[in-house]
Structure 1
């Protein structure tokens, strides 16, 4: 899969055209987040020797939140490290093809969150989750906390379904794949926009079709761009939970055409997100939300709309999907021109 396809996304979709901004104090985040990840045992040894160590999560956080308080950006970056560490665990044996093993791991994680502390000798994933949850949830309402937990459970269910598919050799159909990919691509991460900004969305707004379209469209843009970036590594280990492979299997086409179709779909979803956002002021008026609730919605919408391009720019500078390709092979760093 020629990763240069992502370059054309910014030309074909107006919402993705403008490069993302970078937080002016992003230089501080690198050392802070790396020290935290190493100190908690999430990154071991030389960071450049592991996909998680090379990911540079702080760069994505600084692009998604270029004007937020640095403490909030740092917290989001730590959540990203945790989410990618969990992703690496779930994508490899013994959890990669065992739905029951996925549920078992998540049972331990969710129990730790509910009781408020990790078990003695717990793995780093459990201990850091409890730490992050304490730091994040203390200022949020019961409704927000419940929503976050539900999205963690959705992530568990999506990853368990993927594991079963791998075991039985099932390639999802496109209609099945989109909602599955959404669940397995960390839906809880989007809830973190609110505590980072110090706001909270109205539950009534979250239940509207317009908001669901906006949120789902942004999530699809991010997930499908990631599918293009990670395709070769995932394909090498036989993982078919990747939109280019799903389209190629469903339409009987080659990967070049499937990749081009993914680019088109990303552009369409970016337009869907922008269209949904344009309809939100009328929705806010109908819901008769308070001035504070409307202001909170406006802040979150801006971050959501900026996230797909911020993610593309992060892909340009992250080493997470680097492979052992020989010198001269076109790899992800060709996206550096997007910066």
Structure 2
């Protein structure tokens, strides 16, 4: 897949039409993040050629959090780097095909997080997690910390399920895939928006159906755009955990057809984001939130709404994915009928 295929979404989705901005103070973050990543030993192999070394997490953080204090943007970039380092570890053998190995790794990580410190001689993922947790959780409530832990547990469970699928050669069903992908894509990253912005969302908002609809649809847009960027590498690795492969298996599509259907599903999910955003204000009004909670919601919502385009821009500029620049031959786009759209949802 090439860049133009991914960017074709900007012509079809209003919220993706305008390029994302950048934090005005972002320019020094790249060098500082590179030094931090090397110092913590998170990069395996040559930092200049490894997927993590070329990821440019500073750019993604600076696009997502344009109005946050720069030191908090840098903290979020550290979390992105740690999460990608964890994903790269989980994608390599023996962990990529062993649920037991995934759970064992996560046992060590969660113990370090709960203690607030790593064991002597701990692997970089463990020691860095403990460091990040100390810097992030201070000032956050016990409820927020529990929520973060729940989302890490969800990440562990979904990554373990993916490992079983790889070992047994199972391709996830369309019905299972969306929730599995959301869980394996790092749901804890959404929680981090709050400490970065210096706010905390109340439980009443988090359990509100329009809020759930907004966050899940946003997560799906981000995950499925990422699937488009990474599916060629995953296809080469024999990994079926991307929407392109799942659609191809479910409907007998060629890769080109499955790419087009993936684009269509992202467009439909963008409409779900817009619909949730329209009804959210009325739902929040009914909660009779105090002023501090209203301010927290008002600060977090724009980040969520801007996230898919910020992520799309980062996919194009990051060196983490092999996105071909020249236009490649692909099947002509076919017109979708109503039955096609309903069947794909």
Q: TM-score, normalised by structure 2?
A: 0.92
CA drift of 1:252 comes to 1.0
* Aligned match of 2:215: 215
CA drift of 1:47 comes to 2.4
CA drift of 1:21 comes to 0.5
Paired with 2:274 and 2:139, the residues of 1 have a C-alpha distance of 30
Paired with 1:14 and 1:251, the residues of 2 have a C-alpha distance of 29
Paired with 2:112 and 2:327, the residues of 1 have a C-alpha distance of 44
Paired with 1:162 and 1:64, the residues of 2 have a C-alpha distance of 28
* Aligned match of 2:339: none
Which string of whole-angstrom CA distances, capped at 9 and with x for unpartnered residues, describes residues 58-112 of structure 1? 0000000111100110000000000000000000101000001100000000001
Paired with 1:292 and 1:267, the residues of 2 have a C-alpha distance of 34
**2:3–2:316 Cα contact (<8 Å) kept:** no
CA drift of 1:3 comes to 4.6
**Structure 2 unaligned blocks of 5 or more:** 329-345
CA drift of 1:43 comes to 2.3
**1:112–1:130 Cα contact (<8 Å) kept:** yes
Which string of whole-angstrom CA distances, capped at 9 and with x for unpartnered residues, describes residues 155-197 of structure 1? 0000000000000000011111010000000000000000010
Which string of whole-angstrom CA distances, capped at 9 and with x for unpartnered residues, describes residues 24-83 of structure 1? 111111111111101111125642210000000000000001111001100000000000
Instruction: Tell me which stretches of 4 or more aligned residues in structure 1 moved more than 2 Å.
Output: 1-4, 43-47, 327-330
* Aligned match of 2:182: 182
**2:194–2:300 Cα contact (<8 Å) kept:** yes
Closer, same or farther in 2 for the Cα pair 1:14/1:263, shift >3 Å?
same
CA drift of 1:292 comes to 1.4
* Aligned match of 1:134: 134
**2:213–2:276 Cα contact (<8 Å) kept:** yes
* Aligned match of 1:160: 160
Answer yes or no: is 1:282 the counterpart of 2:293.
Answer: no
Answer yes or no: is 1:309 the counterpart of 2:309.
Answer: yes
Following superposition of structure 1 onto structure 2, how do residues 256-335 of structure 1 map, counting pairs within 5 Å? Answer: 256-322=256-322
Paired with 2:281 and 2:237, the residues of 1 have a C-alpha distance of 46
Paired with 1:329 and 1:232, the residues of 2 have a C-alpha distance of 15
Which string of whole-angstrom CA distances, capped at 9 and with x for unpartnered residues, describes residues 199-247 of structure 1? 0001011011111100000100000000000011111010000100100
**Structure 1 unaligned blocks of 5 or more:** 331-339
**1:225–1:312 Cα contact (<8 Å) kept:** yes
* Aligned match of 1:225: 225
Paired with 1:108 and 1:4, the residues of 2 have a C-alpha distance of 42
Higher mean alpha-carbon deviation, 39-48 vs 227-236, is at 39-48
**1:13–1:268 Cα contact (<8 Å) kept:** no
Answer yes or no: is 1:51 the counterpart of 2:63.
Answer: no
Matched residue SS, 1:279 = helix
CA drift of 1:275 comes to 1.5
* Aligned match of 2:252: 252
Answer yes or no: is 1:14 the counterpart of 2:14.
Answer: yes
The count of corresponding residues between Structure 1 and Structure 2 is 328
**1:90–1:102 Cα contact (<8 Å) kept:** yes
Paired with 2:270 and 2:195, the residues of 1 have a C-alpha distance of 25
Paired with 2:104 and 2:44, the residues of 1 have a C-alpha distance of 24
**2:4–2:327 Cα contact (<8 Å) kept:** no
* Aligned match of 2:38: 38
Answer yes or no: is 1:97 the counterpart of 2:134.
Answer: no
